[in-house]
Amino acid sequence: MIIHDYCKNCPYYLINMADKGSLSKEDNGSDTILVFQSPGRKEWVNKKPLSSDSPRSCNGIVSRSWERTGRKREEFDITNAVQCYPGQDQKTKRDLPPDPKAVEQCLYCLEKEILSKKYKIVIAFGKTAEKSVNRIVEKHNLDTIVINSKHPVAGVIKRDIDNLWTKKQ
């Protein structure tokens, strides 16, 4: 977990610093990084991206896809565009989308993570991740393949998510 100086301007700072900092990238030594929107409640508790045990969670959907296609978590580095949990809608009990100010504050962290290696492929899940990744790639004129996908819990179909891991790059 990390606490950066720029975190002090984030709308989640006071809430999440009580939980001792933000998440950071899971580095599995890969040349492909998966960028998700933000941690869900379970990921926040576990302090690990893509780690919820719910079968309907992003992790549940992605893990089943990996099983169908013979892939493993260890083949990918994993991070989030926003490193802190944005909270839950009290009526629907669904995770809230990240606050745009938090997205902007976390862009520096995501930029450092993406620039830490020469990634061949960056897969962005959802509009928040897509916009952040594209800003970084354009800013630094990176020679990387960017694949934009719907967020796994936003109605992506099995075939489309399975194709993410099996495309010839």
> What's the CATH number where 125 sits?
3.40.470.10
C-alpha 167/C-alpha 158 separation (Å) is: 14
Residue 27 contacts by C-beta under 8 Å, 6 or more apart in sequence?
Answer: 77
Length of the chain: 169
What does pTM read for this prediction?
0.91
Q: Which domain holds residue 133?
A: 5-166
C-alpha 119/C-alpha 77 separation (Å) is: 10
Domain count across the chain: 1
15 or 100, higher pLDDT: 100
CA 53 to chain centre: 17
What average pLDDT does the structure give for the chain? Answer: 88
Pairing of strands 145-149, 121-125: parallel
pLDDT at residue 52 greater than cutoff 70 = yes
For the chain, what percent of residues have pLDDT higher than 90? 56
Question: In the prediction, which pLDDT does 20 show?
Answer: 58
Question: In the prediction, which pLDDT does 18 show?
Answer: 58
C-alpha 122/C-alpha 145 separation (Å) is: 6
Question: Residue 11 — pLDDT band, cuts 50, 70, 90?
Answer: confident
Q: Which of 4-8, 31-35, 94-98 has the lowest mean pLDDT?
A: 4-8
